[in-house]
Structure 1
Amino acid sequence: MLRERRGTRARAVGRVLLGAAVVLAVGAVVLVRFWGPREPEPSPDAVTPAVTPAELGAAAGQRVFIGHMSIGWNMLDGLQRLYADADVPEAEVVQVSVGDPPPDLPEGQGAVVHTEIGVNGDPLGKLANFDTAMRSGLADEVDVAMVKLCFTDVTARTDVEQVFAAYQETLDGLQRDFPDVRFVHATVPLTAAPSGIKQHLKVLLRGDDNAAREQFNDLVREAYADDDLFDIAAVESTTADGTRLATLAPGWADADREHLNATGSAVLAARFLDLLTQGAPA
């Protein structure tokens, strides 16, 4: 009986010691990540890339459809700023709803048609919405089309392979059925690095959402040519001095550490204009 009690006590002490060791190990990782070397901060004097009036005019002459959510609004704000700063007329911006008939666009003029597509956290639903919008007549009206998934659509809990398979099936099907439309392929936006112990613990317990996003993004990069790739994640994660991070660069991030500030919005818009100009007719 005494021997059994000693064995029970020993096992209990062992469990306590094991638990303490796990807590200490987790705490050590958190301390290293939180107080250890920080990722380089971008220059506070970062400026928006220059876009020439000729490039702005060439982009404004195209008819573009964008299915998006919040980062899309950031980019649209950045586009407006770039055109205003250069004093160049911007293409007409038209917001529509999924399933609406195609808007009545001015003959011979460019336009940016856009819609808030689907529900955040449901990437498959967004892809279905984009497919519906294009097949409801928009594909016959536009030169360029893009669907942009949100950072909420791909997390550590997402079946990345399933989402990419649905993305590829949807976009390849649209390209097959509407060969005159240039379908641009966008990577999923990133969020800023964890800023405190609570956020670091969440990453340790739930997984790294940005790593899952980059897994999806790498599949997009591998599958589609550079000329048709709008690498949002690469733009967001590259600081003003050219350093590439694994997260949204602090200098481009808004206060919520998920969306873009005014400078980040303009930087992303400038890259989109560059992409449109590359695809503009000679």
Structure 2
Amino acid sequence: MRRVLLGAALVAAVGAVVLARSWGPREPEPFPDTAVESVPPPELAAAAGERVFLGHMSIGWNMLGGLEQLYDEQGVARPAIVQVAPGEPPPELPAEGGAIVHAEIGTNGDPLGKIANFDATMRAGMADVVDVALVKLCYTDVTAKTDVDAVFAAYRSTMDALERDHPDVRFLHTTVPLTAAPSGIKQHLKVAVRGDDNAARERYNALVREAYGDDDLFDIAAAEGTGADGVRTASLATGWADGDREHLNQAGSAMLAARFLDVLTQTEDG
């Protein structure tokens, strides 16, 4: 009997080691920061001539930092970057050249409030001073508990009305950012108990991709989920992730900024 118990204990110990290795937390290795090589100076210059309004939260700050990096590394003059608060009158923009006007919009975890806040900001005069506008929901806005269909329905009806009422503004549409796949026993257990947040985000993102063409789609989730090797997953590639596995490191911020510039300078005719 004692031998049986010792054997069972040995098997359990080996199993625990295997489980810890397969489910244990892993430190991400950053991908090479090569985004600047994918954005030629003419594209940077063309984007700098656009007047853009961006409603965002934390990943938006990552992208803005990436934009500054790309312009500085190429030695191209940046567009003016102007922060405003929702509800304020539109800012006085430079007489010549473009600008990126941005605001921390709404409250994280309240996607319907963010959509309404963006709508109110555009209708309060922002649509009269910009050429391009977009609102970026956060990963906290879509989780396993979110009514994905209701959020997308509110987004689509709001954007349809804005596009109807402001035909001179090009509205870009964004997918919801992802977070890194669970790493470690605790994170796996959270997914098992609470549900898969990234799966819900990708359900929302599928609706966005189906509704809007490539010319007007800034697919943040696809960019975040595609590693330096070109392999795409339904989670934030850890090589782009900061230490919290939710925000972007320097390479990821520059990569996302480069993808934004690609969309911004793409004409509706392709």
Q: TM-score, normalised by structure 2?
A: 0.88
User: What is aligned with 2:187?
Assistant: 199
User: What is aligned with 2:138?
Assistant: 150
- State the Cα RMSD in Å: 2.3
Structure 1 residues 183-235: Cα deviation after superposition (integer angstroms, max 9, x where no partner): 00000000001111111001001100000000000000000011000000000
Is 1:130 the equivalent of 2:118? Answer: yes
Task: Please tell me whether the aligned partners of residues 254 and 261 of structure 1 are also in contact (alpha carbons under 8 angstroms).
Answer: yes
Match of 1:92 among 53, 72, 80: 80
1:24-63, aligned counterparts within 5 Å? 35=22, 44-45=31-32, 47-48=34-35, 49-63=37-51
Aligned length: 252
> Whose radius of gyration is greater, 1 or 2?
1
Indicate the SS of the match to 2:172: strand
**Greater alpha carbon shift after TM alignment, 228-237 vs 101-110:** 101-110
Structure 1 residues 256-276: Cα deviation after superposition (integer angstroms, max 9, x where no partner): 000000000000000001111
How many Å apart are 1:281 and its aligned residue? 10
Structure 1 residues 117-138: Cα deviation after superposition (integer angstroms, max 9, x where no partner): 0000000000010001000001
User: What is aligned with 1:117?
Assistant: 105
Cα distance change, pair 32–231 in 1 and its aligned pair in 2 (3 A): farther
Q: Residue 258 of structure 1 aligns to which amino acid in structure 2?
A: E
1:245-256, aligned counterparts within 5 Å? 245-256=233-244
1:1-282, aligned counterparts within 5 Å? 35=22, 44-45=31-32, 47-48=34-35, 49-279=37-267
**Greater alpha carbon shift after TM alignment, 71-80 vs 106-115:** 106-115
Q: Write out the 4+ residue segments of structure 1 that deviate beyond 6 Å after TM superposition.
A: 31-34
Structure 1 residues 134-156: Cα deviation after superposition (integer angstroms, max 9, x where no partner): 00001011000000000000000
Distance 1:44 1:105 in 2: 37
Task: Please tell me whether the aligned partners of residues 67 and 147 of structure 1 are also in contact (alpha carbons under 8 angstroms).
Answer: yes
Distance 2:98 2:33 in 1: 31
Q: TM-score, normalised by structure 1?
A: 0.85
Q: Residue 120 of structure 1 aligns to which amino acid in structure 2?
A: N
Q: What 5-or-longer segments of structure 1 have no aligned partner?
A: 1-27
Task: Please tell me whether the aligned partners of residues 177 and 220 of structure 2 are also in contact (alpha carbons under 8 angstroms).
Answer: yes
Cα distance change, pair 34–225 in 1 and its aligned pair in 2 (3 A): farther
Task: Please tell me whether the aligned partners of residues 240 and 252 of structure 2 are also in contact (alpha carbons under 8 angstroms).
Answer: yes
Q: What 5-or-longer segments of structure 2 have no aligned partner?
A: 1-14
Cα distance change, pair 59–207 in 1 and its aligned pair in 2 (3 A): same
How many Å apart are 1:50 and its aligned residue? 2.2
Q: Residue 47 of structure 1 aligns to which amino acid in structure 2?
A: T
Task: Please tell me whether the aligned partners of residues 238 and 245 of structure 1 are also in contact (alpha carbons under 8 angstroms).
Answer: yes
Distance 1:34 1:121 in 2: 33
Task: Please tell me whether the aligned partners of residues 34 and 197 of structure 1 are also in contact (alpha carbons under 8 angstroms).
Answer: no
